Structure 1
Amino acid sequence: MTTSTDALKQELTFTRFDRMSEAYPHRPAVVYLGEYFSYRRLRDLSERFAGAMADLDVAKGDRVMIYIPNCIQWVIAFLGIQKLGAVVVPVAPIYTSHEITYMIEDAEVQTVICTDTNFCYVKEAFAETGLKQVVVTNLIDLLPAWKRWLGHLFDKVPTGKVDADPRVHRFTRLIRHAPLADPPDIDPAGDLSYILYTGGTTGFPKGVPGNHVGMTSYVNDVTEDVAGDHLKEGEDTYIAVNPLFHIMALGLFMAVGLNRGNTTVLMPVPQVDAILEAIGRYRVRWLLGVPALYRMILENDRQDRYDLGSLRYCYCGGDVLPEEVKERWQKRCGIPIYQVYGSTEVGHVAYSKIGTDPSPRAIGHPLKSRQCRIVDPVTLAPVENGQSGELLVTSPYTLKAYYNKPEETEKTYVQIDGATWCRMGDFVSALPSGELIYMERSADIIKHKAFRVSASEVEAVLQDHPTVIGACVVGVPDTKVGERIKAIVVLKEDARGVGGTELMRWCRDRLAAYKVPSYIEFRDMLPKSKVGKLLRREVRDDEIRRISKGKPKPVAKGA
């Protein structure tokens, strides 16, 4: 299959799943907590869910937020929403009510799918947004009765209180509905498939709209050019550890799993022993992880008890893999770790080539549906061969604007030679082979546990505190989590009794846990340019110098 626009329109990711369900009806599509869901069963459940959503007046173009962790319901909901022509808005299940209220309003979400444990946050959003209805589930709702009974008996299943309300619907009831009878026509290039959220430079997350053909283009690249003959259609097994609300995890799940008739072992939480046990039990060959996961596996003192001999193709995304981790993995498993690079704005961009050892700090070779350019960040002129510059990416298949954010769009997307390019904020160089080498990232973005954290978003939350007049947030290098988040804060002169503990509590109430600063330092002033711009990179560089000299990090009292 080619990546021409006409070919991409003929078979999208969810319609290709339908074809796989006809070719391999009895093949397990997903293994979730030991329960097998065949391709035929998964397709039936997704079409029943789509039919039920249609009866709840969810129509083509409507926004549906998926606010649950990795589970079989996530997959059913995603496929059902796509078939209905509605727009998926996947978000982290650990977001607070403050965060999801903003996203519900911004994306114009009318329906939310949540778990009973985070229903309380959705409930708060009803009064402040145009939200019409909620679909509630529990992580074990679709498991056999005896497994659910044992889970509750041994108190292994978290549960939450759900109000009786005509606007609240149970997932288990909806999948008993008749299948969707009349799917709408979908324009692969013109109709939205999803809206994903990423950090903003103004303190608010930005919605990134994606069309159907944009995802299909890079899924084709991965299955045909990256995996190629290494991927055994209808025979292979992939383990999905990373959260599916992330573009990297969702794309690879479709590319090597559902779009190739293969089995995906879906992990609800990234618990190392459970992952290792699943790799051995299901003879997993394909794995996507983040640097922290590979490090945790190598540092697990029980790793030798597990059989990892089935692994053949291991990928790392979210951040550059440290060389010492790559070398230890090669020694432990006898296979390399390949790199994946991409972003919410442009999808998957680059992959290492199977069979070649990735160069140090490499992020891969560009996919054929993505064009890359390395430029001077000020003039946007191409740098000389081998020189470092900011990475720009474009593709004829992707949308090139943030949702309802014209000012943010203007800052990130630039016009060069008649094409619209996305500024990645990452600085790279290129080898003669075309392999991209990572150099450094913009100080505006912090990579913490493979999550992209917007420094300005955390700063905005801190500055909402009544005693804070200024804040600067930076990433401090850390071998285990990539970067730790440090906040430098300036308080009002008359502030009394405000310390790091209170400000962290303030952040925890308004931000997902991975965005909360690890420590806070108080200062009298922040460094700014002559025009008043915060010199975040100067602060970050100062922190790096401090670490290199072995000086202890200042930590706020009580933090």
Structure 2
Amino acid sequence: MNQDHFKFWPVRTSTTLTLPETTLYHNLEVTASRYPSKTAIDYYGNEMSFGDLLKEADELAGFLQQKMNVTKGESVLLYMQNSPQFIIGFYAILRADAVVVPINPMNTADELRFYVKDCEIKSAIVGQELYDRAAPLIKEGLITQVVAAAYSDYAGTHELNLPEEVRAERRMFNEEGHFLWKEALGAGCIPLPSASGPDDLAVMPYTSGTTGLPKGCMHTNRTVQANTFGGYHWLNATSDAVSLATLPLFHVTGMIHSMHIPIMSGATMVLMTRWEREYARSIIREKKVSNWVNISTMLIDFLANPKLKKEDMASLQGLAGGGAALPAAVGEKLFDLTGLHFVEGYGLSETIAQTHFNPPDRPKLQCLGIPSFDVDAKIIDPLTHEELPIGGEGEIVVNGPQVFLGYYNRPEENEQAFIEIDGKRYFRTGDIGKRDEEGYYFMVDRVKRMINASGFKVWPAEVESLLYKHPAVQQACVVGIPDERRGETVKAFVVLTQDGLGTAPEEIIDWAKQNMADYKYPRVIEFRESLPMTTSGKLLWRQLQEEERQKVSGGIER
């Protein structure tokens, strides 16, 4: 294991971490016994204590076992937006000794059908606004039992401008196998004695990976605890922190940093169902939010709010995130407003969030950070598998306590996902990166995203990072498009800042010529009012890439 990075390790923090031999659910039990009356969740002005959170998780767990016959190791669908019910539901499934399968609420009925069949799911906890997407699967008999939840049951009534889903009144369901959330909690069911241990499956987030169909990432209590406790120590979490939860909780970064770590530490979670920058601005100020883990695209939007003032962010003590590198200009604006550096990290669904983190007291901008507790990371040649020297660009591979067991029911892909080096098993991330002389890692791009322009490798993420330095660029996404002479050439989709409206594409191209190597700069600029993104804030570059390919094949008119 390379140890260069230990020189820059967070002060007063050990370089190794002994993990507990306990379950995620046990974290909630401990916190509820320590701080029974302390606010666990603040949901649009309505507060819920840790004692009540534990009580309701137990009640729902008992209902799952006794009324819905959920058994140990069974996969249960959690198909909801950020809400108290998502958190209660997650821990209830764990308490029932089952496996949480959290699915993106943007998925359609057809997409949902794939996950349900893949995991052989029979029971589901569903937000009522998503019920109509699940209904066809219920009619087909794939899902046989469902608990439907209305977010309005937990929201404060005095808040203005509540999201539509949060305002909606409770729907009624009379079909067989349908249960209202309030009915389930009021049934008086007591869960069976816990039968889960650290090596039992706890959660199975799905990832699309670089190719093929989505794959379930098998995570045990132990692998999830590795990053829950790791993030807790790395970011100095405390019971008096107030954490803003804006990342979707079905996504591993939100799951770990906006739910599991606050629950383990006893911090208050200020929960938002939908991202809305003006509400985030007001709630940070009103609730004196101290910690906020987000994603760079979300932070870019937040800082672009013309109403934002320095005093709005005065309570913030820590800002961290990942997903994509934060543009330098945005990082500088953040520092001017708050005196805080954005602590970037790196991880995947397969590693249940972070394998790398920037040291909070010595972060580098646009950097993945250094390997986290007990993580051994290398940069290898993707073809020869030889480890590359400092500065060499190759695939990032990782070995660590948070690495998943493998993909559910995907034996062939599991063989391809791992590689053995000197007797040690490493997960192949599919990301191209490099390591500097101090042991910090930097993203170059995805293996599958490289643009081959006249034989030169162009990494879109690098071009995007440079484009963000242009004062008129608020967001950028770079893809490769066919070119008769060069094979491929570089195209950038750009969202302009308010001040940059009226900028011509030629102006940005001319600027790029002066600031990038000749083979890198975008030959084509297309302005958009917005760019397609996932609910976790990642740019859907594949969607834009596919649009360009369809143009060539005649699917879309130029």
Q: TM-score, normalised by structure 1?
A: 0.77
2:46 is matched with which residue? Answer: 35
Tell me which amino acid in the other structure corresponds to 1:520: E
Give the direction of change, closer, same or farther, for the CA distance of 1:392–1:170 in structure 2 (3 Å limit). Answer: same
- Aligned equivalents of 1:4, 1:85: Cα separation in 2: 29
- Aligned equivalents of 1:132, 1:240: Cα separation in 2: 32
Tell me which amino acid in the other structure corresponds to 1:78: F
Matched, 1:291 2:335: no
- Aligned equivalents of 1:524, 1:17: Cα separation in 2: 52
Could you tell me which of 167, 177, 184 is aligned with 1:174?
A: 184
What is the DSSP-based 3-state SS (H/G/I as helix, E as strand, rest coil) of the residue aligned with 2:370? strand
Could you tell me which of 144, 152, 156 is aligned with 1:132?
A: 144
Q: Note if contact 1:95-1:512 (Cα within 8 Å) is conserved in structure 2.
A: no
Give the direction of change, closer, same or farther, for the CA distance of 1:482–1:422 in structure 2 (3 Å limit). Answer: farther
Write the mapping of 1:147-162 to structure 2, written as runs, cut at 5 A.
Answer: 157-158=167-168
1:51 is matched with which residue? Answer: 62
- Aligned equivalents of 1:97, 1:437: Cα separation in 2: 38
Q: Note if contact 2:258-2:293 (Cα within 8 Å) is conserved in structure 1.
A: no
Shift of 1:272: 0.3
Tell me which amino acid in the other structure corresponds to 1:172: K
- Aligned equivalents of 2:386, 2:58: Cα separation in 1: 50
- Aligned equivalents of 1:93, 1:257: Cα separation in 2: 23
Tell me which amino acid in the other structure corresponds to 1:126: I
Shift of 1:197: 0.6
- Aligned equivalents of 2:267, 2:92: Cα separation in 1: 19
Runs of at least 5 residues in structure 2 that lack an aligned partner in the other structure: 1-12, 452-459, 469-473, 483-531
Could you tell me which of 315, 318, 325 is aligned with 1:313?
A: 318
Tell me which amino acid in the other structure corresponds to 2:48: F
Q: Note if contact 1:116-1:162 (Cα within 8 Å) is conserved in structure 2.
A: no
Give the direction of change, closer, same or farther, for the CA distance of 1:316–1:4 in structure 2 (3 Å limit). Answer: closer
Could you tell me which of 225, 241, 252 is aligned with 2:246?
A: 241
Q: Note if contact 1:237-1:264 (Cα within 8 Å) is conserved in structure 2.
A: yes
- Aligned equivalents of 1:149, 1:296: Cα separation in 2: 21
Write the mapping of 1:150-549 to structure 2, written as runs, cut at 5 A.
Answer: 157-158=167-168, 163-178=173-188, 180-189=190-199, 191-224=200-233, 226-228=234-236, 231=237, 233-254=238-259, 256-304=261-309, 307-347=312-352, 348-356=354-362, 358-396=363-401, 398-443=403-448, 477=464, 480=474, 483=477, 517-518=543-544, 520-521=547-548
- Aligned equivalents of 2:150, 2:248: Cα separation in 1: 17
- Aligned equivalents of 2:536, 2:144: Cα separation in 1: 24
Q: Note if contact 2:17-2:230 (Cα within 8 Å) is conserved in structure 1.
A: no
Between stretches 416-425 and 66-75, larger displacement belongs to: 416-425
Tell me which amino acid in the other structure corresponds to 1:556: I
2:513 is matched with which residue? Answer: none
Q: Deviations for 1:148-199, whole angstroms, at most 9, x for unmatched residues?
A: 99979x997346966521121111111123253423321211x110111101
- Aligned equivalents of 2:186, 2:153: Cα separation in 1: 13
What is the DSSP-based 3-state SS (H/G/I as helix, E as strand, rest coil) of the residue aligned with 1:383? coil
Tell me which amino acid in the other structure corresponds to 1:517: Q
Q: Note if contact 1:220-1:255 (Cα within 8 Å) is conserved in structure 2.
A: no
Q: Note if contact 2:108-2:133 (Cα within 8 Å) is conserved in structure 1.
A: yes
Shift of 1:47: 0.6
Shift of 1:45: 0.8
1:556 is matched with which residue? Answer: 556
Shift of 1:135: 1.2
Shift of 1:252: 1.0
Tell me which amino acid in the other structure corresponds to 1:20: T
Shift of 1:398: 3.7
- Aligned equivalents of 2:310, 2:331: Cα separation in 1: 21
Shift of 1:362: 0.8
RMSD between superposed Cα atoms in Å: 3.4
- Aligned equivalents of 1:523, 1:271: Cα separation in 2: 33
- Aligned equivalents of 2:165, 2:191: Cα separation in 1: 40
Q: Note if contact 1:13-1:254 (Cα within 8 Å) is conserved in structure 2.
A: no
What is the DSSP-based 3-state SS (H/G/I as helix, E as strand, rest coil) of the residue aligned with 2:179? strand
Between stretches 393-402 and 105-114, larger displacement belongs to: 393-402
Shift of 1:2: 9.2
Q: Note if contact 2:19-2:229 (Cα within 8 Å) is conserved in structure 1.
A: no
Give the direction of change, closer, same or farther, for the CA distance of 1:484–1:270 in structure 2 (3 Å limit). Answer: farther
Q: Note if contact 1:319-1:482 (Cα within 8 Å) is conserved in structure 2.
A: no
- Aligned equivalents of 1:287, 1:512: Cα separation in 2: 14
Shift of 1:318: 1.1
Give the direction of change, closer, same or farther, for the CA distance of 1:129–1:321 in structure 2 (3 Å limit). Answer: farther
Tell me which amino acid in the other structure corresponds to 2:190: L
Q: Note if contact 2:343-2:360 (Cα within 8 Å) is conserved in structure 1.
A: yes
1:540 is matched with which residue? Answer: none
- Aligned equivalents of 1:31, 1:366: Cα separation in 2: 33
What is the DSSP-based 3-state SS (H/G/I as helix, E as strand, rest coil) of the residue aligned with 2:193? coil
Give the direction of change, closer, same or farther, for the CA distance of 1:41–1:425 in structure 2 (3 Å limit). Answer: same
Tell me which amino acid in the other structure corresponds to 1:17: L
Shift of 1:368: 1.4
- Aligned equivalents of 2:192, 2:339: Cα separation in 1: 51
- Aligned equivalents of 1:125, 1:517: Cα separation in 2: 27
Runs of at least 5 residues in structure 1 that lack an aligned partner in the other structure: 447-473, 489-507, 527-553
Shift of 1:338: 0.6
Q: Note if contact 1:247-1:344 (Cα within 8 Å) is conserved in structure 2.
A: yes
